Amino acid sequence: MAQPHIPITPSTTTFEGKTIIVTGANAGLGLEAARQFLTLHASRVILACRSLTKGRDAATYLSTHPSVVAVNSNADIKVLELDLDDYKSVTKFAQQIKSEIDVLDVLLLNGGVNIMEYQVSASGHERVMQVNYLSNAVLSLELLPLLQSTAAKRGAPSRLTLVGSQTMGMHALVKKPLLENETITQRWDDKTRYGSLQRYSDSKLMVAAFTQVLAQHVPASKVVINNLCPGIVATGFDVNLPIWLKPIMWVVRKARARTVEEGARTLIYASGVAQADSHGKFILNNVITEPAPILAQPEGEKLKQKAWAEAVAQVKELDPGFNRDWA
């Protein structure tokens, strides 16, 4: 069954004068979202990439792309290193942003990975959870004060959008729930309860849970925070999948996938078109949609509160100067 068509972003949408960060911006949805921001007159786009070489190639591609040259040839395109696999890189990136720019209008957390074998990140946690959730939670908290101060200057809310997935509904907590006295990281780091087919879904469940609880602490009048699924998109995201699964995914993407251009429109919608009613919500096909049912249940509420407490504690450990009074 085909996915709903995502319409072209309304011509009235503009990011003129805005500073935007896109993570995972050297390829796929991140790169295309950056291009679309630029064609919508963004003044400064910061490409956050694991590889500086690939990031610089992406910047060259964008600065010379006919669609950008035609309408926004003077845009400032900057490349900064960000490796979501490593907390040290995340905190270094956050400090660099805070020291080098004084406004941040849009933070689009698009970077992610899908690996179907248990691996350990540079920070000592299961890799998919580290890259897709843990590091993004830290980055969100570190840069929220800048988003909020920008909103005060603009007289309009800034935006924080996290890329998630409707596959969150296939998470592992149904059969292997979080134990009463264990932390979230203990649960997801436990190799004996690791499920290769579910870990990506687990990580996106955590993204949705964090989005909801973060929105409880930050009013939409300051920062509109939401979470979206771009749907099935024809990108190279399957590169790390096992050989037996790649042909299956190739068929699925061939039959149902959106183009990268259409898929990226969902990112632009969530981070610039969706209104304050999307605050704390999950967006699918540009429509506010109910996330995984567990998040509306008592078990989900416990998960969200643990996610919040652990994320704040992690940031304080990494950054002794962190102050959460902004909430």
Q: Choosing from 18, 87, 194, 204, which is the catalytic residue?
A: 204
Who contacts 257 (Cβ-Cβ below 8 Å, separation ≥6)? 232, 233, 234
Of 203, 175, 201, residue with least CA distance to 189: 203
Residue with tokens 């292997």: 176
Q: Choosing from 87, 133, 194, 200, which is the catalytic residue?
A: 200
Task: Tell me how many degrees the CA angle 58-112-250 measures, rounded to the nearest 5.
Answer: 85
Task: Say whether 270 sits in a helix, a strand or coil.
Answer: helix
Residue with tokens 């964008």: 62
Of 252, 223, 227, residue with least CA distance to 238: 252
Any idea of the CA torsion for 111, 114, 115, 121, to the nearest 10 degrees?
Answer: 30
Residue 204 annotated to the active site: yes
Greatest pairwise CA separation for the chain in angstroms: 57
Residue 54 annotated to the active site: no
DSSP state for residue 133 in the 8-state scheme: I
Pairing status of strand 282-284 against strand 287-289: antiparallel
Instruction: State the catalytic residues.
Output: 200, 204
